[in-house]
Amino acid sequence: MTERLLEVDGFRMHFSTRDGVVKAVDDVSFTLDAGQTLGVVGESGSGKSVTALSIMGLVPSPPGEVVGGDIRFKGESICAMSEERMRHVRGNSIAMIFQDPMTSLNPVFRVGRQVAESLRVHKGASRAEADAQAVELLDLVGIPHAHERARDYPHEFSGGMRQRAMIAMALACDPDILIADEPTTALDVTIQAQIIELMEALQARTGTAIIIITHDLGVVADIADRVLVMYAGRPVEYGTAEEIFYRPAHPYTWGLHDSLPRHDVPGKSVLRPIEGQPPSLVDLPGGCAFHPRCPHATGRCRTEVPEPRDIHSGHKAACHYAGEPGFVRGSEPGATREVGA
């Protein structure tokens, strides 16, 4: 029986800006159990990073405001936590690593000290204990000569090494959940695979649940148990990795698949990018937010916001036509029947 760590339930985070209300996260729900890995996939501006920062309680308010739903960590509402209590969770029970390891480490402190800092704050370790443990952690994430390298400054580390150091820092307090926000985007392709493998290996060892956020469906393919696809702040598809990969039900997910280079499938070499640009979050298109870019859109899509519908047990897609017979990936545009319109 695995423990339910995180429940995100109809969560809405809106930003009030001069230009209007930005619905950065709108009605997002998912759960995460101990030892599981969830992939959150979407383009920039899809709300995936804001969702992550909301779990960390790091969205500044103002301008950010929780307007509905809740996030519960082990049954306790994060939105209702005091700053004091939240600080205890942050870095201790839920840790996070960020996209750009080049800028995410403080340039004026030694790497070892930065890893040791969480231990000092959360575990009350003495400086010597924390430093020693930091060396062990750096060793664990595969930094050679960790004992000496702990005394280096971040600028002496390569990008991949810095991301390893970030992971060491995040894992310092043995967190229940590790959130990785685009952990490989800023790295060389060869390093990307190493970092993903490292995260998998560490998960096998510590049992930490992982939320991996990416715009690259390929990254989550190997590592995720379940996948949430987001578009314009809303969830569009949610299911097991297998279902999202082999039986995707939403045209947007199809688009993500088609824009992915696949070398394992012979004969498929033509990339088809999704046409158009992600919409402005201030002025979302009516109906389904994806309809202006959807080759299958109908009149109904322009007026009616699709509710997530069950395709299969636990597999949901927010499309009026998802799961209809004949409405599958690769079907010709225009095959959709006008239902009730």
Partner 1 sequence: MLAYVVRRVLQFIPVFLGVTLLLFVLRAPGVLPGDPVRLITGERAISPELYQQVVEKHHLDRPLYVQYGYYLQGLLQGDLGTSFQRDMPVRDIFAAKFPNTVRLALAAIVIEIIIGIGAGMVSALKRYSFLDVFVTLSTSILVSVPVFWLGMVMQVLFGIKFKEWGLPFMPISGMSSAQFPDWAHIILPAITLASVSTAYTARIMRSQLLEVMGQDYIRTARAKGLSSNAVVWRHAFKNALIPVVTFIGIDLGAMMGGAILTETIFNWPGVGYEIFLAIGQRDWPIVMGGVIIIVFAVMIINLIVDISYAFLDPRIRYGGEVR
Q: Where on the chain is the footprint of partner 1 (CB under 8 A)?
A: 56, 58, 87-92, 95-96, 98, 100, 103-109, 117-118, 121-122, 153, 155-156, 166, 169
Q: Which is nearer to partner 1, 114 or 298 (CB)?
A: 114
CA pair distance 63, 86, nearest whole angstrom: 19
Find out whether 243 and 226 touch, Cβ atoms under 8 Å: no
Q: Which is nearer to partner 1, 112 or 306 (CB)?
A: 112
Task: Report in angstroms how near the CB of residue 270 gets to partner 1 at its nearest.
Answer: 37
Find residue 229's DSSP bridge partners.
41, 237
Find out whether 232 and 284 touch, Cβ atoms under 8 Å: yes
Q: Residue 170 belongs to what H/E stretch?
A: helix 159-171
CA distances in angstroms from 246 to 98, 225, 253, 328, listed in the order given: 29, 13, 11, 11
Written as six digits, the tokens of 114 are: 């930065």
Q: Which is nearer to partner 1, 121 or 328 (CB)?
A: 121
Task: Report in angstroms how near the CB of residue 290 gets to partner 1 at its nearest.
Answer: 30
Task: Report in angstroms how near the CB of residue 108 gets to partner 1 at its nearest.
Answer: 5
Task: Report in angstroms how near the CB of residue 58 gets to partner 1 at its nearest.
Answer: 6
Q: Which is nearer to partner 1, 88 or 215 (CB)?
A: 88
Task: Report in angstroms how near the CB of residue 104 gets to partner 1 at its nearest.
Answer: 4
CA pair distance 73, 95, nearest whole angstrom: 13
> What does the buried/exposed string (b/e) look like for 44-65 if buried means 16 or more CB atoms within 10 Å of the residue's CB?
ebbbbbbbbbbbbbebeeeebe
Task: Report in angstroms how near the CB of residue 62 gets to partner 1 at its nearest.
Answer: 11
Q: Which is nearer to partner 1, 109 or 335 (CB)?
A: 109
Q: Which is nearer to partner 1, 116 or 232 (CB)?
A: 116
Q: What does DSSP assign to residue 155?
A: G
CA distances in angstroms from 89 to 21, 126, 174, 278, listed in the order given: 29, 20, 12, 34
